[in-house]
Amino acid sequence: MKHSTRAVLFGSIGLVLGGGLPTSVVHAQEVTIREPWVRGTVRGQKATGAFMQLTATESASLVAVESPVAGSVQIHEMKMENDVMKMRAIPKLDLPAGKAVELKPGGYHMMLMDLKQPLKKGEAVPIRLRFEAKDKTFKTIEIKAQVRELGAGPERREHKH
Ligand SMILES: [Cu+2]
């Protein structure tokens, strides 16, 4: 299935994040998850992005994601194609040993789809991540991601699905 989505780009906005956002660090065997956050939504918005930094000590893959606030969660990548930023779902995200993989606006991210409620700044969204290790064993890690303002991040983008 070929699924690609056009994302509408907005110019950077000079947004200052106040108040020292808390950093959560979760250690679970060999995957470290740093600074998970979710972009806040407005009423009626059906999808939003979740971002964080993943570091695996042994190579592993992120193979599935779920959250109680979303009907489904996809792993997305973004790529420039003919001057258009395209977003598409990928089946898994590889985590090379010892290398931090950044999920951030404009790059890899998790897409929370079919949102069941608006997500407001300051709320904590539980997200369950399922990893597959090289030896084909699976591990699930649950984190809480902080909701940031709608315009949070280095660039503001709106996803259209
Ligand atoms: Cu997306």
The residue ranking higher by pLDDT, 16 or 30, is 30
* Cα separation, 25 vs 4, whole angstroms: 32
The answer to whether residue 111 is domain-embedded is yes
How many domains does the chain divide into? 1
The answer to whether residue 15 is domain-embedded is no
Residue 29 — pLDDT band, cuts 50, 70, 90?
low
The answer to whether residue 47 is domain-embedded is yes
The answer to whether residue 96 is domain-embedded is yes
The answer to whether residue 63 is domain-embedded is yes
- Kindly give the distance from the C-alpha atom of residue 76 to the centroid of ligand 1, in angstroms, as a whole number: 5
The answer to whether residue 17 is domain-embedded is no
CATH of the domain at 40: 2.60.40.1890
Out of 21-25, 120-124, 134-138, pick the least confident: 21-25
- Kindly give the distance from the C-alpha atom of residue 111 to the centroid of ligand 1, in angstroms, as a whole number: 5
The answer to whether residue 16 is domain-embedded is no
- Kindly give the distance from the C-alpha atom of residue 103 to the centroid of ligand 1, in angstroms, as a whole number: 11
Residue 105, pLDDT score: 92
Mean pLDDT of 1-18: 34
Residue 135 — pLDDT band, cuts 50, 70, 90?
confident
The answer to whether residue 18 is domain-embedded is no
Which range marks the domain in which residue 31 is found? 5-10+24-155
Asked whether the predicted pLDDT for residue 152 surpasses 70, the reply is no
- Kindly give the distance from the C-alpha atom of residue 29 to the centroid of ligand 1, in angstroms, as a whole number: 28
